Structure 1
């Protein structure tokens, strides 16, 4: 699977969202962030290992609408959603193993409406 960027791959992302299983991960980063530079290849590899999930890379300066009214204070900040709602919204340490464990147990977390909004809605608003 790919790591989608709504700033450069919006049509492909919309097509993926229309046919995926509703499990989505958005990683909010910034081009100037060296931590994000190091994290992106690991996230791309994780996307390839987890084809049931849709992985999205959002540069907060290129696609600020993807934040809604939220703010990002540290990078990477991660949004995990499924059809039931948001399972996680917050800062993650930049270790892909931590995100992997989070995703493996995501359905055990309570579904909420926290974060910048539903990914389907964010993708259509562009």
Structure 2
């Protein structure tokens, strides 16, 4: 399975895939970024290795109405969340092995531990308010 690409005509499909308590792994990139272009195949490979999770590719410029307020400092940036708990938001080395370890480590956490960690620091608390992909998509559709 490859990743979904968030586009205006796929928002309903992506929103449906994000419904529930499943894991979401989103890569925020830009079409003009050479690193992002070369990372796409690796990201699709991660999606194939984790078929129980929803992988979403998001071009931050094309989807600015959804992610425009997110603080994307560099590319690629990953957003990992389970249900409504954002587990990680930040720049990632364009190495699929590093992303794979991050995804596996987060998936091993219990729901209670994930929720505890989500509230554990001011940075993580901000992720909950500002980076929840389900909320961002829902708010863009309003």
TM interval, short-chain normalised: 0.7 to 0.9
Query: Matched residues in 2 for 1:34 and 1:71: separation?
Result: 20
| Superposition map of 1:1-126 within 5 A | 1-7=1-7, 8-18=9-19, 21-67=21-67, 69-83=69-83, 85-107=85-107, 108=109, 110-111=117-118, 112-115=124-127, 116-124=130-138, 125-126=140-141
Give 1:45 deviation, angstroms: 1.4
Q: Is the 8 A contact 1:60 1:67 kept in 2?
A: yes
Q: Is the 8 A contact 1:68 1:117 kept in 2?
A: no
Which structure 2 residue ranges, 5 or more long, are not aligned? Answer: 119-123
Once the two structures are superposed, residues 77-116 of structure 1 have per-residue CA deviations (whole angstroms, 9 ceiling, x without a partner) of 1111112511111100000110000000015462244334
Tell me the TM-score normalized by structure 1.
Answer: 0.86
RMSD: 1.9
Q: 1:81 to 1:114 in 2, by over 3 A?
A: farther
- 3-state DSSP class of the match of 2:126? coil
Q: Is the 8 A contact 1:21 1:53 kept in 2?
A: no
- Give aligned pairs, total: 125
Tell me the TM-score normalized by structure 2.
Answer: 0.77
Structure having the larger proportion of residues in helix: 2
- 3-state DSSP class of the match of 2:37? helix
Which structure 1 residue ranges, 5 or more long, are not aligned? Answer: none
- 3-state DSSP class of the match of 2:70? coil
Give 1:21 deviation, angstroms: 4.0
Higher mean alpha-carbon deviation, 46-55 vs 3-12, is at 3-12
- 3-state DSSP class of the match of 1:114? helix
